[in-house]
Structure 1
Amino acid sequence: MDLETVRTFVAAADAGQFQEAAAELAVTQQAVSKRIAALERDLGVRLFTRTARGAALTIDGQAFLTHARELLRVAERAVASVSPARRPLRVDVIASRSAASGLMRDFHRTHPEIDLDVLMLFDIEAAVSAIRSGAIDASFRAVAAPGRPLPDDVESVRVLDEPLQLLTGPAHALAGARSVPLARLAGHRIWMPGMAPGTEWAAYYEDLVAEFGLTLESTGPNFGSDALLDTIADTPALATFMGEHMRLVWPAGYGLRRIPVTDPTPVYPHSLLWHRDNPHPALDTLRAHLTATAAGHDAAATWAPGWVIPR
């Protein structure tokens, strides 16, 4: 059933005249007559009778009117359910304790009037597919890993270069350092369990290890950040990398140290990705906020892989 003919029927029923209904709908009276005639053919009944005053509903027309109004209300609710202006902005932050999650918390504090849905998708292929299908509006990623350029309809902007830090236990050889040059980490065991092949962060660390001769171990199952902290605190021979903005909390007795890495400082590049035709009005607000709060990229004495999009 054509909703436009139903809408025309309701307008004519309310006005009592096809001419007034035509004026309300901004169409000709002939168009109203044709739509009503088409609806009557579809239903197999007469909906109006002509009177001296205009048009009056038949018994069938009166019975249909209540349902016609409900049809239009249901249609309005269906449209509203997918209207970008009426649904939350859906953003992927990869992990709840990540720098991207912190960026979105800051955005929410600045724009509390914008409804948000925060999601966590594991890999970049899933994120890009969700962006292109409209399942999400944006994602934070490091782009573009070797051999995996972004599709032409996906845009990106670099929003944060996050310095890496070395995390050690209290008995580690570098635990007392105020900072540590990257070259000094050669020969030390850096443990990062669960480094899944094919992910953007695996590509990042592969380049870091290759360029500076580091020893990175990813053996063993990934039991999560709490288990990682337990092991680093108890094992003097192991250290790990973490982002400066990574939010982790551990018992005071662990004595863990977060040590800046220098000469150069490795930075993990976070970019915002979105579909170029995404109509959500809050997406422009998010991009403007991130652009206004972003620090400079590719600063002196920092390192990032050559495949990272610089803009």
Structure 2
Amino acid sequence: MDLDTVRTFVVAADAGQFQEAAAELAVTQQAVSKRIAALERSLGVRLFTRTARGAELTIDGQAFLSHAREMLRVAERAVASVRPGRRPLRVDVIASRGAVSGLMRGFHRAYPEIELDVVWLFDIEKAVAAIRSGEIDASFRAVAAPGRPLPEDIESVRVLDEPLQLLTGPAHALAGARSVTVAQLAGHRIWMPGIVPGTEWAAYYDDLVAEFGLTIEATGPNFGSDALLDTIADTPALATFMGEQTRLVWPAGHGLRRIPVTDPAPVYPHSLLWRRDNPHPALATLRAHLAATGAGHDADGTWAPGWVLER
């Protein structure tokens, strides 16, 4: 059913005259008559009776009026639900305990009035497809991994270089170190069962291994961070990498150590991705917030893969 004809019917019913309805709608009286006639044909009933005083609703017109008003209200709510700024900003942060989740918590603290929907998408292809379709407004990713150029309609800006730390149990050979160099890690077994082939973080660690001759093992099932921490705590021969801003809690008896890695410090590059023509006003606010609070990238003494985009 054409909403313009329904709207014309409601205005004419309230005005009681087609001429006044035409003035309110900024159309001709003939246009109002044609719209009402078209609506009556589609419904198969007469809605108005012409009188000397104007136009009066028939019994069928009176029955239809309340439903017509509800149709217009539903249509307005539908439009408002997708109007820029009227729906929550939807952002993919990959994981709840990582650094970019912390970035979004900081944004929420700075702008509590902005409604947010935070989602977790594992695969970069799914994230980019969701951005392009409008399912989400933005995603945090490391870009652009080899063979994965961004589509032309996707923008990105690098927002955080997160230093890696070595996580060891109390009996590990490096557990007592205040910091370790990348060279000191050669020959040590670094266990990371969360590395999944084809992901951008797999590409990152592949380059890290190739650059510095490290040994990273991704064997065994990934039972999650709690199981990883249990194993690292109990196995002197194993260590793992984690981001400096990754938030993890473990039992005090584990005695785990978080040790900075230096000379150079490997950093994981986090970029924000969004669709170039996305009109959501909160997206611009998020980008400005990240630009103002970001710590920069490519600092002296750090390392990141050569494929990482500067923007």
TM-score range, shorter chain: over 0.9
Secondary structure of the residue aligned to 1:121 is coil
Q: Name the residue aligned to 2:239.
A: 239
Secondary structure of the residue aligned to 2:135 is coil
Say yes or no: does 1:46 pair with 2:46. yes
Distance 1:111 1:246 in 2: 23
Cα deviation, residue 23, structure 1: 2.2
Q: Name the residue aligned to 1:63.
A: 63
Q: Name the residue aligned to 1:260.
A: 260
Distance 1:182 1:153 in 2: 38
Q: What is the TM-score with the length of structure 2 in the denominator? A: 0.97
Distance 1:263 1:32 in 2: 78
Contact 1:194 1:219 in 2 (8 A): no
Q: Name the residue aligned to 1:218.
A: 218
Letter in 1 for 2:26: A
**What does the per-residue CA deviation read over 1:228-248, in whole Å, with 9 as the maximum and x for residues that have no partner?**
111111111111100000000
**What does the per-residue CA deviation read over 1:75-99, in whole Å, with 9 as the maximum and x for residues that have no partner?**
2222233334222111111111010
Percent of residue pairs bearing the same amino acid type: 87
Say yes or no: does 1:181 pair with 2:181. yes
Secondary structure of the residue aligned to 2:127 is helix
Distance 2:267 2:138 in 1: 22
Q: Name the residue aligned to 1:272.
A: 272
**What does the per-residue CA deviation read over 1:169-196, in whole Å, with 9 as the maximum and x for residues that have no partner?**
1111111111111111111111101311
**What does the per-residue CA deviation read over 1:24-71, in whole Å, with 9 as the maximum and x for residues that have no partner?**
222222222221121122222222222222221122211211211121
Contact 1:194 1:220 in 2 (8 A): no
Contact 1:189 1:217 in 2 (8 A): yes
Q: Name the residue aligned to 1:98.
A: 98
Q: What is the TM-score with the length of structure 1 in the denominator? A: 0.97
Contact 1:170 1:256 in 2 (8 A): yes
Letter in 2 for 1:42: S
Cα RMSD after superposing both structures:
1.2
Q: Name the residue aligned to 2:170.
A: 170
Distance 1:45 1:194 in 2: 66
Cα deviation, residue 254, structure 1: 1.3
Letter in 2 for 1:278: N
Letter in 1 for 2:253: G
Q: Name the residue aligned to 2:204.
A: 204
Secondary structure of the residue aligned to 1:299 is coil
Superposition map of 1:59-138 within 5 A = 59-138=59-138
Secondary structure of the residue aligned to 2:291 is helix
Secondary structure of the residue aligned to 1:160 is strand
Distance 2:31 2:140 in 1: 50
Secondary structure of the residue aligned to 1:6 is helix
Secondary structure of the residue aligned to 2:6 is helix
Secondary structure of the residue aligned to 1:175 is coil
Cα deviation, residue 161, structure 1: 0.5
Distance 1:71 1:281 in 2: 29
Q: Name the residue aligned to 1:35.
A: 35
Q: Name the residue aligned to 1:289.
A: 289
Letter in 1 for 2:183: A
Deviating above 6 A after TM superposition, structure 1's stretches of 4 or more consecutive aligned residues are none
Secondary structure of the residue aligned to 2:196 is coil
Distance 1:7 1:53 in 2: 22
Distance 1:24 1:292 in 2: 48
Distance 1:30 1:15 in 2: 16
Distance 1:55 1:154 in 2: 55
